[in-house]
Amino acid sequence: MESKDVQSVLVQENERDVLGNTMHVSELFKKCLKSAGPTYIFLDGLDEMEAFERGLLLQQVTDLEGCSEAKVLISSRPEADISNALENRATAIRVEKRNSESIRTYVDQRARDWMKNGDFDQEAQEQIRALLAPVAATANGNYRNRTHSRPVCC
């Protein structure tokens, strides 16, 4: 579908209903998703929200089941309420155990760039490499200071 179809749905809306009625906005969002065709929604960092707010968001996301062309990916640290809300509706994928090689590659590439652009003598470069060597092993699944240990696909 064209974005004009979604745009026409939005143009017909009453501003008061959009601003003051959560259920109306939810139905409007579903209508837009159905008009839009294949849609991918990525929600990151739900664990950083207040539990009450993320509960409301998860309720709205799990209520999108009628929008068959909408696919949702939720990336979050493990939290019991998130797991419980999505238990029978999503596939959990744990990534923190399988990303050590990616972290090592990232650290090595950044170190190479740093060495290339810096004015380091050979001894300093060797010391820096020695200090960076254990980073991937001690990262505990963290990549760029964020842990995304439970991406969930609906």
Which pLDDT score is estimated for 66? Answer: 73
Which pLDDT score is estimated for 50? Answer: 92
Mean pLDDT of the chain: 76
Could you tell me the two tokens for 134?
């254990």
Could you tell me the two tokens for 25?
């906005």
Name which of 151, 57, 62 is nearest 99 in CA terms: 151
Q: What pTM value is reported for the model? A: 0.54
β 39-44/70-75 pair status: parallel
Confidence class for position 12, pLDDT limits 50, 70, 90: low
Count of Cβ atoms closer than 10 Å to residue 153 Cβ: 12
Confidence class for position 11, pLDDT limits 50, 70, 90: low
Domain ranges of the chain: 3-98+144-153, 100-138
pLDDT digits (tens, 9 = 90+) for 34-56: 777 788 888 888 889 999 998 88
